[in-house]
Amino acid sequence: MLLKEPIRKNRAKAALICTEASNREDFFQNAKQIARNFFEVIEAEYTDELFCTGLEKAKDVLNHPEFLKKAYILGENLLK
């Protein structure tokens, strides 16, 4: 919080969906920390994250129905 008083009464929910081409989960740690800091600045609650490995091209996600299902559930949870 930048100010002494919160700007909003209710914090918005926020989530991070991040993709990368290799299969190294550790590549996401920097993005996760940046997202956490950004959400804190905008006073949003970091509620969830989805890291998708092995996606080199945009349509590669179509070969991973588990990522699509998790993304859908993540979106639903943001609306609750």
Domain residue spans in the chain?
12-79
Q: What is the 3-state secondary structure (H, E, C) of 9-58?
A: CCCEEEEEEEECCCCCHHHHHHHHHHHHHHHHHCCEEEEEEEEECCCCCH
Reported pTM: 0.81
- pLDDT tens digit sequence for 26-80: 889 999 999 999 999 899 999 999 999 999 998 999 999 999 999 999 999 999 8
- The first and second tokens of residue 5, run together, are 């008083």
